[in-house]
Structure 1
């Protein structure tokens, strides 16, 4: 078996496998759009006797972690011909992808799972949820008639991007977006848009949406401040005569329940994307821990069978100014710390903790991280609180 990146000549074989695996048929126009991105979004394949048997896309991206930009490798389009399944090809592809991401300096990796349990085996873990609302039209909030104005059908990328770029660093794990990502991923297939402008004429909120069978479906809604949020809501409520329901997909910390006069509407927490640390030593070095009065020291044992450079025992120090460092402990007894300062955790749970999906005391209490209660509380102070959110899909 050969694991390698596909060449331009193998683009059609990649499309044929994707169409069969995901039960769709691309138009010639869509094929050419994907062909144009083929060089920038590498596809890796498993080959037997020169035949493509399984593949995945490895997309170079960038995300925010506590306001800092971090390189991320997005994995998508994982597929295998049915007669080639259960031969370990995806395992080999994922391990090769991790090696490639490490070589490219991508500290994190994301994917949208067909099965959470399947990808947990390889070190990916849930790190973000969505909160989905279905609000009947008679329970929509009352209009506030805030200053400013809403303009429909604003499709200029720079206008939308200017709002997104100011808002999204507030969240952990959200992507930075290039212009091409906006054009090819975000805006593709979006029928309607609207932008809220403040009294000075500056864009401060937008919504991407569709209306189908009298249901307003929000694809994405972003606002900079409360006035902008309310201005966007006034626009949505103005559609009440033609709607029976409004559907929203929001971050889990959204306060909508407190803002509705009757919050007894359908609300659903949807586990969304999975992530994993690719290079633990480099990620800890880049991570902005909270400042403290004194340095913190732990012995960290990481379980990561698919990225062996992470596996093992590390001396973990965090300086008073929040700079973290991992150093390998080559001699098992050479830890220099008492037992209560030890932490044992899988790479997936370590990822979920550092991206803010779950706090250390919860992970310790439910047995997902082996350490003492005191160490878990100490970590809780050192890891900044910020809500994970990812409005994108790939």
Structure 2
């Protein structure tokens, strides 16, 4: 057992450090929500004499990456007491968590960074972006009424299982396969959220919208449409709030902002903002089960630089009839060399190997880089959840 894992009786100490480290006010609701994460996580802590000095969560999830199910642990609530800061406590716990992940057959890890540079030291890399669309109420598009279908509005606590099934069936860009406890946790955490559901004339669910408000601003948290009718119905539902709210904000996990679909693209303020980071914990498993985009590829040798010893090798990759062969080949001369962060970007579809080569992140044979580039997905990943 890892010496940094905390027992259940350490929750109050963990909670108190959380309150102080993130400058949060104590409340029953906040404590209950954190306890839910605590109970479903591997919880790591480092003592500073008789007090907890550093802590973090390692939360087990599954993710769907283009039809392949991978185990992923989300790192959350990384914290250190100010009197214990600067001693490498959080880094020690993060390394311990990554080692445990590997031994527990966890392939990937995600986290929300307070500093991208800091977490790059531990092999994480930015692969998730969000697009943020902001509109004023007098700039909202005019949406025609529909003669078919209808929308229902409910409190988030009345969110039904059909919505959960719809999310699951549309989640394939690396997002979290939400277990029941995580859905329950999200609802408990965001108890003021509401949900709008769109149905066709056969009363079949065709889309949903999870939203909330703060002051004069209407925020769309999550939006999924199965067809144009759903988009029309839910868009009309949003615009019906223009007499109530002045500002409308949608933060989408899709970094493609699609401004061209607006009647007047100038009507919206649009930005793409960095979101969360990812790390390949077990490179061998990630590659061997990866959704390769070519059925045949001759041998390519590439050196991966990584602080995790089990990934830090020269590897031989070949594909024949869609079957992947991926083995350590430290005795061979590599065709290219790159870091685990650079490889993560390429394998997640965030940026192509060719582009990374052009920017100097890869050294080696450009033709072999082109060859390996054809293996990886080209669609950017999408992640709604936060931990």
> TM-score category by the smaller chain?
over 0.9
State which of 249, 265, 270 in structure 2 corresponds to 1:267. 270
Tell me if the contact between 2:257 and 2:270 (Cα under 8 Å) persists in the aligned partners: no
Query: Displacement of 1:3 after TM fit?
Result: 4.3
Query: Displacement of 1:377 after TM fit?
Result: 2.4
When the two chains are superposed, the root-mean-square deviation of aligned CA atoms in Å is 1.9
State which of 350, 354, 357 in structure 2 corresponds to 1:364. 357
Per-residue deviation, residues 330-353 of structure 1 (Å, max 9, x unmatched): 42xx34xxx7xx121111111111
What is the DSSP-based 3-state SS (H/G/I as helix, E as strand, rest coil) of the residue aligned with 1:175?
A: strand
Query: Displacement of 1:269 after TM fit?
Result: 0.7
Distance 1:149 1:393 in 2: 31
Provide the residue aligned with 1:277 in structure 2: 280
Provide the residue aligned with 2:195 in structure 1: 193
Distance 1:257 1:29 in 2: 39
- What does 1:32-181 correspond to in 2, within 5 Å? 32-49=32-49, 51-146=51-146, 147-153=148-154, 155-169=158-172, 172-181=173-182
Is 2:375 aligned against 1:382? yes
Distance 1:143 1:51, change over 3 A: same
Per-residue deviation, residues 216-236 of structure 1 (Å, max 9, x unmatched): 111111222232122210111
Query: Displacement of 1:203 after TM fit?
Result: 1.1
Distance 2:139 2:373 in 1: 39
Is 2:348 aligned against 1:355? yes
Distance 1:254 1:276 in 2: 23
What is the DSSP-based 3-state SS (H/G/I as helix, E as strand, rest coil) of the residue aligned with 2:171?
A: helix
Tell me if the contact between 1:133 and 1:267 (Cα under 8 Å) persists in the aligned partners: yes
What is the DSSP-based 3-state SS (H/G/I as helix, E as strand, rest coil) of the residue aligned with 2:52?
A: strand
Q: TM-score, normalised by structure 1?
A: 0.91
- What does 1:316-331 correspond to in 2, within 5 Å? 316-321=317-322, 323-331=323-331
What is the DSSP-based 3-state SS (H/G/I as helix, E as strand, rest coil) of the residue aligned with 1:241?
A: coil
Q: TM-score, normalised by structure 2?
A: 0.93
User: Which deviates further from its counterpart, 253-262 or 347-356?
Assistant: 253-262
What is the DSSP-based 3-state SS (H/G/I as helix, E as strand, rest coil) of the residue aligned with 1:64?
A: strand
Distance 1:141 1:66, change over 3 A: same
Distance 1:354 1:145, change over 3 A: same
What is the DSSP-based 3-state SS (H/G/I as helix, E as strand, rest coil) of the residue aligned with 1:300?
A: strand
Unaligned stretches of 5+ in structure 2?
A: none
Unaligned stretches of 5+ in structure 1?
A: none
State which of 337, 341, 348 in structure 2 corresponds to 1:344. 337
Distance 1:212 1:40 in 2: 30
Tell me if the contact between 1:3 and 1:96 (Cα under 8 Å) persists in the aligned partners: no
Provide the residue aligned with 1:257 in structure 2: 259
- What does 1:5-20 correspond to in 2, within 5 Å? 5-20=5-20
